[in-house]
Amino acid sequence: MACGPLHGVKVIECAHMLSGPYCCQILGDLGAEVIKVESTGAGDRTRGLHPFSDPGGVSYGFLSRNRNKRSVCVDLASEEGREVMYRLVRDADVLVHNLRRTTMASLKLAYSDLKAVNPRLVYASISGFGEKGPYKDLPGEDMQAQAMSGILSIIGYPDQSSTPVGTQLGDATTGIVSALGVVSALYARDRTGQGQEVTNSLLASLMAIQPAALSYYLASGQVQPKMGSSGSPTLPVPYGIWTAGDGKEMAVSSYRDWPKFCRCIGAPDLADDPRFDTYENRQANREELVGIVQEALSRRDRDAWISLLRAQDQWVVPVRDYEDIFSDTDSWDNGLVAEMEHPLAGRVRTFGGPLGFSETPEPPAKYPPILGEDTRRVLVEAGYSDDEIDGLLRKGAVK
């Protein structure tokens, strides 16, 4: 049976919304046992976010980032609830949180507190803007981090307002990078025997996916402008997004053999035109050249262009929306869709994960848990008797 490369690793998730839960979902996909600790009220706030499944009324947002976990409801503000956490941490390998550092400290769940309970613990802290500096106490939210990261300054058109990325790029990237930090710390622990704190932030993760643009500024002092559909200030036409005659878009990345591209689009004279015959000239006259190439590409439908250009070894793909993606076969062929049977929502499909392992394949996907459905079972495994659990339930320390 498939167990995954992290089989045997126990993770305590003390996180909500997206970055922390997505990090732990990745660890769970890789075979780790993930115990999601939620409040005794409504649980993870994502459970209440629209839209909801029909049937079942389950948040699609929650479904997207919480598979392969068990749910335990604990009142972390109570002494009894804190003791439950300490018991869970005692034999855990990892704890992941994206609460404010001050909140974790007030709950006596800071790294210094839990290191005393389990020196081998890998403690992953996710913040909005880092643990130090003037913005360390700002709330961590995706669009806020996008705005602060510089990424919005290079997306869109120079004469238009900045446009946020249309999905929670910062949260998702932070989850991925934090999972990398966790497995790195686990590897280090195998050699040293010691756990450690791993820190990451939405801001740092969004900056991490811009190495070329940020490093260019640090080296040159020049700010990269917004380039619209051209995409890059350094790569020349025809690099960019183009609209074909049927109104559909395609992405062209062929720029190394300019004369060959000109022949492909039926405009061989462009290659020798003194306005466009060198890289420098194409860059200097980019706006004029974009208009000429766009006019040429308007003479055929997109699929016809793709067939023609690919036949000449040009790099071109369609611009797809989500319906296009899942109507095609490649996502299914490569196992990028996770399918589960949820007790409330019925058959559920979510994005799976990008990794594949030849010798330690990932386990089958388990549906995101119902709030508190595993509380008793997990507490029994932690050493509580049935009478003790009943007492905790009566006091409201767990649910």
Domains of the chain: 10-209+327-395 (3.40.50.10540), 228-243+249-318 (3.30.1540.10)
Closest CA relative to residue 84, chosen from 25, 14, 132, 167: 14
The pLDDT-based confidence of 101 (bands split at 50, 70, 90) is: very high
pLDDT greater than 80 at residue 1: no
Closest CA relative to residue 280, chosen from 331, 321, 237: 237
For residue 255, what pLDDT is reported?
A: 86
Angle at 92 between CA 175 and CA 342, to 5 degrees: 60
CA dihedral sign of residues 349, 353, 354, 356? negative
Model confidence over 216-248: pLDDT tens digits?
A: 999 999 999 999 999 889 999 999 999 999 999
Model confidence over 140-197: pLDDT tens digits?
A: 999 999 999 999 999 999 999 999 999 999 999 999 999 999 999 999 999 999 999 9
Model confidence over 245-265: pLDDT tens digits?
A: 999 999 999 888 999 999 999
Model confidence over 265-294: pLDDT tens digits?
A: 999 999 999 999 999 999 999 999 999 999
Single-letter amino acid code for the residue at 244: A
57 burial level (CB within 10 Å; 0-12, 13-18, 19+): exposed
Task: Answer yes or no: are the C-beta atoms of 367 and 67 closer than 8 Å.
Answer: yes
Q: Which helix (H) or strand (E) holds 33?
A: strand 33-38
**What is the SS3 assignment for 309?**
helix
Task: Answer yes or no: are the C-beta atoms of 33 and 10 closer than 8 Å.
Answer: yes
CA 170/CA 189 separation, integer angstroms: 28
Active site residue 54: no
Closest CA relative to residue 183, chosen from 51, 57, 94, 302: 94
- Radius of gyration over every alpha carbon of the chain, rounded to an integer in angstroms: 26
Q: Which of 54, 93, 171, 301 is catalytic?
A: 171
Model confidence over 105-123: pLDDT tens digits?
A: 999 999 999 999 999 999 9
**What is the SS3 assignment for 316?**
strand
For residue 190, what pLDDT is reported?
A: 98
Closest CA relative to residue 299, chosen from 267, 269, 326: 267
Task: Answer yes or no: are the C-beta atoms of 14 and 96 closer than 8 Å.
Answer: yes
Q: Is the peptide bond before 51 cis (omega within 30 degrees of 0)?
A: yes
pLDDT greater than 80 at residue 2: no
Written as six digits, the tokens of 235 are 């790569």
DSSP 68: S
Average pLDDT, the chain: 97
